[in-house]
Structure 1
Amino acid sequence: MLMTGKVVRFDEVRGYGFIAPADAGEDVFMHANDLLDEKYLYQEGREVEFFLEQGDKGPKASQIRLVHQPTAIRLPSRPAGAPEDRQAVRGAGGDGATDAARFRAELTEALLDSSGTLTADQIKQVRECVVALARKRGWIAH
């Protein structure tokens, strides 16, 4: 039977954890061999779909997949705040408004990649706070 629930905990190293089913009931065992996505994505609170089976020791999930997939965009490999990044954000002779818009877009993508549990409103709030700080510090044009 296909069910939904949220990851209660998952230990990447040991390869197992538990899911709290959406329709209540006892937690369901999950094992890394039954994951359909990369195991590092199965963090506490992430919503999953799975098939419920009866294992030797109780309820067991199989064919576990994330309900909401994180975006495929990754952050750059160089450290954040490297001199070339600061110059690009400050404008280095470019249009400050364009640089601010680019900073805003890159920040939004970074927030989307950082956690699959942030809501759109939370992302907007964090983004506005960081953009205001960046403007105050002179990292982007006003």
Structure 2
Amino acid sequence: MAFAEGLPQFRERRSGVIINVTSAVTVKPLHLLSVYTASKAAVNAFTESLALELEPFDVRAHLVLPGRAPETSFGESARSRILIPEPYAPLAQSVFVAWQQSTTVTRGLDVAEAVWRVANDPSCPMSLAAGADAVALTSPA
């Protein structure tokens, strides 16, 4: 169901859950991800405001914040499209090496479980990290 079409029905039924999946990078700045982070942060702000607007209708809006998921093709696809200006080449190289060496990641199952939880658990927090690396990024230091 399209978002705009579903919202009136949710309000009328006084039930429903909207789940937006963005990224854990929105809670901690990371190198080379400024535009990506900004686009995801915009969805976060929209969802947080929408949650307030829908609360009187008993409709919930949540965010799922996955971390880096190397088992998906997203990372490789994104890397092949990133144009790194020459002054940033050494930084990019070190960042990419660190990403490849990291064993703390998000699996597809982590995201599916987080989506299921926010859809089915009314006590779930508004934002939920999905994956070990996302949990580490979103946890207080």
TM-score higher than 0.5: no
- Per the normalisation by structure 2, the TM-score is 0.24
Structure with larger RCO (C-alpha < 8 A, sep 6+): 2
The structure with the largest alpha-carbon Rg is 1
